[in-house]
Structure 1
Amino acid sequence: EVPATTAPLMKSYLEQGYVFVAIKLTAGAAVNEIHPLVFRYEGTQPCVPLKLTAVAAEENMGVRTFFLGNRRFAPLNYKHVVLNDLRFDWATIAANAQVPNPAPIDYEGLVAQAVDSDIAMGHAFVTDYAGASSVVSSNGLNNPVWRSAPFVSKTTPGQAIQELKNQGLLSCNGLACTSPHPLVLPLLSQFIPVPAGLDSAYYASCGSCQTTDTPWDGKVFAAELDERVLAPGRRAEQALAKYPYLTRMFTAISPAEMTVDPEFVAALDSASLTQARSATLQRQCDGAQLTVVGTREVGPALDGGTGWPAWPAMPAAARIEEYRADGSVVVLKDNGAEIDAQLGQYNAAQSWPPQPEFVVDDDGCALDPGPVRGSVTARLAAALAAASLVVRRWRRRAA
């Protein structure tokens, strides 16, 4: 059933001269039978029609965009947000690296907080990755062995299945079949009707199930295989080779916020952004752990705990930016000072940074001010100072 709120939204598009394409899933068809559709059209700016999405969207729904081009892309009529990496739970991330099935990190939740902050007001994107498109693996897109021509001469489903195996497009173990391409099995089930009660993957693997009575048209299958599987893979591989730069952006947006369709622009800023985020864990002499995130130090908890600070009042966005039509960028808000202030308060409460255990005075004498927790760096410096003092005194005696 079409929601009542759809008509006013469609009217606003129609008044602007937009054209609609309606697609309906065939009755009884499974979700895995949906094939990707590509539409090519002339336009002034890339756009995502989020206003229409609002009629069936969920709260904080994730929206991810991919752009291939010669340079980085950025939102035009939405803000651009740079995340505050201190808000990631680095303690949990470190623990997850030690277990086989780690708990997921709430990346989407942090993005939702950042884009809902002041100025961004729910209309913003975060850049997940910006850099060489070669990061995308071409495995599964195209293979010289994959060819549609041999299927034209196949006269039975069994012969076609064997050819799929020969090309590596199908692998069967007697119980089920798998394919390196997600569209092969759905296509096969379309041409080989699966009897009621049988799984399509099992039916394809069952040689005795296939009979010469099953209707089969090798020419049509070959054409469909090329159109749906092989040709799109070749085009994708060609696009990756043609366009050297990939930009991936993400946002979390709720239906009430889907009032503007985001448009995008090629940015003048060509700075790359890796998809990996990292922090450095430094273990201290007393077993405490210091974490360095970017250029910021998060001191070890005074009580010896290893959990990550919650920082509920710390901004989720490090910066909020706005890109102009010419691709230039303006920083609307920089939260760096506020982030540093809250980090400083936390570190002070943990007695971080510590005072060195040894102080070398102007005469080269080492003093011990008392049992203060010291870092590896401080203790190493003290040891070097003591060694220097011994060498100097020995040289004086030798003279």
Structure 2
Amino acid sequence: MKELARLVQHIRPGARASDVDALSALSDGLLTAERLTDGLKWASDQMPCRIELSAPSTDPRTVTSVVFPARHCDPEGIADLGSPEALLAAVPGATRAYVSYYQKKMESELIDLPASASGIVARIRFNRGHFNQTEYREASQFAAMDQREKKREEPYLERYREEEEKELAYKRLTLQEKLAPLRAEQARKLAELGAHGVLREWAQDYSGWGESSNRWLSFVDWLITESTPDDRHGFACNWNWDHGIDVHRWIIRQPDTDIATVATTIWNMLPSDHIPEIAKGREGYTNGIGLAHCEMLLEIAERIRAGFYQPREGFAPIGFNPPSRLKFKEETDAIRHATDLLLPPVVREPIAGRGGAELNQRCPAVFFEILN
């Protein structure tokens, strides 16, 4: 088998097909050739490879390309170098021939070694930074292949460049600029419908978990007409966030809502998850739930700073203890700025007051089955 491996490793474009066919006789059954339209696929557990032959009409028929998978054969001694950058630095004349992307991430990187005297080029493929295979062809063949591949991928690369520029432009925005479009939409709806109208509009269109809009409208009517600040605190403690944040928007817009209810809402929104992503402008947070959460955090913060939430006369304040300190995997100026902007100090510290299990059960039982 070692002799066979030595012979296969030295097969190069230009060799006669008859010489390649002779290898099967030496393999003692370990290496078999499956004839394909464009060549032969040599396979064995020890050393699979692919050898393409010229068209059957050519005389003599010759090898046009040879491909060796890295895990079985490394004729150029590439594996020890470890990376495309190390290969380019170690081999004079080596060039980066082509880079392909998948979902905005580099998928494959192709490095060409200098052509031999006979015009044969060894092309090394790295997949996601790891040595994958060695392929041998004439330089002109590789050039034609690259031209076809680049033409095929150009629409995708153009779209990638546009998306990348859009994402970079978004990252350059301040947090207020990122939130501005959503804030404008919320302000428009609030001016047109009022807080009660915005909430009722949501209930009319919502049918979460198969519940009819009538049941949600009944719940909303109870909130608007009958609920007390203590009721809302119990609701805030029991809300299933799969239903979104629209009901909480209404609660934080009520001047008699207790500051502890506001703080509970903030921490249940998981600010340590959303703030870093909005601050960095990571894809997926340029719109959607992360942006909506941060927009509502900003509305709450502005109301707190404006003194919107005042102690209720005749009622002892509700107590609150933050579940944890804010913890981020990294601390950047953008994250610190976002934290200071969205989380006023009052909601980061304990709030003295009454509490207990009774406050967590103030929502009428008839609504628990649709909320939890």
Q: TM-score range by the shorter chain?
A: under 0.3
Q: Which structure is higher in helix share? A: 2
Relative contact order, higher structure (CA 8 A, sep 6+):
1
TM-score (norm 2): 0.22
Instruction: From the CA coordinates, give the structure whose radius of gyration is larger.
Output: 2
